Amino acid sequence: MIIDSHTHMDTGNGLGIGIENSNPKELAEFRNMIREKKLGVLANASCVSEFEAFETIEGAFISFGIHPWNTHEFCKSGKGENPLLLDEQDWVKCIREKLEGVKEYFRGAHAVGEIGMDSVWCSCNLMLQRELFIQQLEIAQSLRRPVVLHTKGQEKAIAEILLNYSLKKLVHWYSCEQYLELFLEQDCYFTVGPNYQTSNAVKKVISTVPLDRLLVETDGISAVEWASEKKIRVAEIPDVLKGSVRAIAEAKGIAPEIAERRIEENFYRFLGI
């Protein structure tokens, strides 16, 4: 089965990361495809309402975590522009209380994520992002859950933080042309994003990462639309993923069917199931 190892699905309530124009029908379409085993997913829940919606989808695996873009929740300004209104002691306490309140969702998820830091698409204070990231890594460590990582612009800092954690780590859609080796040294898994034809960094992931550490992902409909510059339907998602599998197969000199099977094995090994 083709598996989307990191995706966002629109629950139709306008919440969630990367959901701009909410589509109430999207989740039902995903639900049917997953039930019919046309697609497997590690669906990313960035809030309780997403978790509860994905939990009702038979056959879906779920990652749960507070995305770095949501760090602004912890700023008094509410926009991440003036986080120093809270002093560091308050951040630590405030984040701990928030995470404690959703502990059962971390416990109920197959993985903790996506978590990390971002200095490219997010203007939230990096010290705050770092605190939120580290506290979630601690939760993953205590619950023995693998982690899904968002590393945009903070690749080196994140690789250094990760050295303190002996977790299974999945670097989602790595798109930096540097520091790949810092993650390879830590035996990380990597997802290949849908821009494998145009991004040199993604091409490097395909050629450099060993086959037993490679996965494929879409990061959700809106990310595929961003990468392909056209509208995408839910029914097209398996073909998008199969394009990434073919690129991996070609780079590794194996048949696409074998690559698909090996990638599926990687997915279950990463989740420990």
The least CB distance from residue 243 to Zn ion, in Å, is 19
Q: Which stretch binds Zn ion (CB under 5 A): 19-27, 216-224, 225-233, 240-248?
A: 216-224
Contact 227, 195 (CB under 8 A): yes
Number of residues that bind Zn ion (CB under 5 A): 2
Q: Based on the shown chain and the rule CB under 5 A, indicate whether residue 4 belongs to the binding site for Zn ion.
A: no
Q: Helix 126-143 vs helix 155-162: angle between axes, to the nearest 10 degrees?
A: 30
- CA 125, 127, 130, 131 dihedral sign is negative
Q: Residue of minimal CB distance from Zn ion?
A: 219
Beta strands in 46-181 (DSSP E): 61-64, 111-116, 147-150, 169-171
Q: Which stretch binds Zn ion (CB under 5 A): 32-40, 54-62, 73-81, 211-219?
A: 211-219
Joined tokens for residue 237 = 């998602």
The least CB distance from residue 191 to Zn ion, in Å, is 10
Contact 223, 272 (CB under 8 A): no
Q: Which stretch binds Zn ion (CB under 5 A): 27-35, 176-184, 213-221, 238-246?
A: 213-221
Q: Pick between residue 131 and residue 219 the one whose CB is nearest to Zn ion.
A: 219
Q: Pick between residue 34 and residue 249 the one whose CB is nearest to Zn ion.
A: 34
Q: Please, which residues bridge with residue 116 across strands?
A: 150
Mask of contacts with Zn ion, 109-148, x by CB under 5 A? -----x----------------------------------
Q: Pick between residue 215 and residue 251 the one whose CB is nearest to Zn ion.
A: 215
Site for Zn ion in 162-201 (CB under 5 A): none
Say whether 88 sits in a helix, a strand or coil: helix
CA 55 – CA 39 distance, rounded (Å): 16
Report the residue from 111, 219, 247, 251 that binds Zn ion according to the rule CB under 5 A.
Answer: 219
Q: Pick between residue 26 and residue 219 the one whose CB is nearest to Zn ion.
A: 219
CA 62 – CA 151 distance, rounded (Å): 20
What does DSSP say about strands 169-171 and 189-192: parallel, antiparallel, or unpaired?
Answer: parallel
Torsion of the alpha carbons at 133, 124, 99 and 153, rounded to the nearest 10: -20
The least CB distance from residue 212 to Zn ion, in Å, is 23
Q: Pick between residue 115 and residue 251 the one whose CB is nearest to Zn ion.
A: 115
Joined tokens for residue 45 = 């829940």
Give me the residues that bind Zn ion (CB under 5 A), please: 114, 219
